[in-house]
Amino acid sequence: MTLNIALRKHIFSLVWLSTLAASFPAWAGKTLDTVKQRDQVACGVNTGLAGFSAADSQGKWSGLDVDVCRAVAAAVLGSADKVRYVPLSAQQRFTALQSGEVDVLSRNTTFTLTRDASLGLHQTAVTYYDGQGFMVPTKANIKSAKQLKGATVCVQAGTTTEKNLTDFSRTNKLDIKPVVFEKFDAANAAYFSGRCKAYTTDASGLASIRTKEAKNPKEHVILPELISKEPLGPMVRRGDDEWLAIVKWTVYGLVEAEEYGITSENVNNLKNESADPVVSRLLGKSEDTGKLLGLDREWLVRAVLAVGNYGEMFDRHLGEKTPLGLKRGLNAQWSKGGLQYAIPIR
């Protein structure tokens, strides 16, 4: 009898431990270990989209998407310079992430159910709320996309843009004729040479293309209406919860830093002097949130020092004082009428 009781207790203990283990997330991925061993983050970016990811004549990359990877590298490796940028076309981007060629895809990519559920990838956090628009020559005197009946429209293959254009045309009975290009540069060249009456992609992308590619940006106008929701942000592979958490919380950390007035210029002073409990927690003074991510307590301090808070990033690459001249709009903080709302770091 005593043996049976002891055996039952042992079996119960094993079942209880198994249940307890199953209640915790499985940190099964190896991306963090690989990144640390390599001492570098492999970052998939656009081949060249001003404001998001573009290289200058010296090969130095800059842009909002680039800064995401710089922030992750600073948080994980201690230096924002420990990034290898891999320029990818729309068709290449998902395969590059799936195969492990890159650790994170930070390439103006729209989050959708299909991409999240069927590609073996995970969406992280939205870094830019966008929508699909149309650009036309100013001299065409077109005021609305609904005036594009029967028009040829340049669009890039392998994007949500192509399907959105077809849906918009069918819904409004416009009989739009898509002119589809696999390469970004080819679509740009076709539009500016007059082969297409209009160009469609994300509105932020149109602003970038107009600024960078047009001989005279004033000769082209971006029409006011948007025909879709395009939440853009970085993606990682499925099966690695630890790396997903690091990338996601780095973005949230930069957004929450702006909300609490933490900038690249004052972060060190606030770390030592702030009496605000939220600021103290964010900067690792009162709590060590880094240990939950497999990092040290100053992970966010380094990220903010490297790239600034979300607002600093936006203003530097996309804002009204840049050639793109974009307003914050939906990308303002939630407390100022926008959609940027960081999940609390606590």
Mean pLDDT score, 206-223: 95
What's the pLDDT score for residue 15?
A: 42
Whole-number Å distance between alpha carbons of 252 and 88: 25
Distance from C-alpha of 279 to C-alpha of 303, rounded to nearest angstrom: 15
pLDDT recorded at residue 12: 45
Q: At residue 126, does pLDDT exceed 90?
A: yes
**Per-position DSSP letters for 179-223, written without gaps between them:** EEESSHHHHHHHHHTTSSSEEEEEHHHHHHHHHHH-SSGGGEEE-
* Neighbouring C-alpha atoms within 13 Å toward the C-beta of 78: 3
Residues in the chain: 346
Examine the pLDDT at 72 and tell me if it is beyond 60.
yes
The arithmetic mean of pLDDT across residues 232-240, rounded, is: 97
pLDDT at 222 over 50: yes
Domains of the chain (ranges; CATH) run: 31-129+232-324 (3.40.190.10), 132-228 (3.40.190.10)
**pLDDT score of 24 more than 60:** no
Query: Are the beta carbons of 326 and 313 closer than 8 angstroms?
Result: no
Is the predicted pLDDT of residue 28 greater than 70, yes or no? no
pLDDT digits (tens, 9 = 90+) for 94-116: 999 999 999 999 999 999 999 99
- Per DSSP, which regions of 27-91 are E strands? 41-46, 54-55, 61-62, 83-88
* AA identity, residue 181: F
Q: How much is the pLDDT for 29?
A: 66
Residue 10 has pLDDT above 60, yes or no: no
Residue 195 has pLDDT above 60, yes or no: yes
pLDDT in tens, 297-327: 999 999 999 999 999 999 999 999 999 999 9
Structure confidence at residue 27 (pLDDT): 47
pTM across the whole model: 0.87
**Residue type at 241 in one-letter notation:** D
Q: What is the DSSP string of 244-270?
A: HHHHHHHHHHHHHHHHTT--TTTHHHH
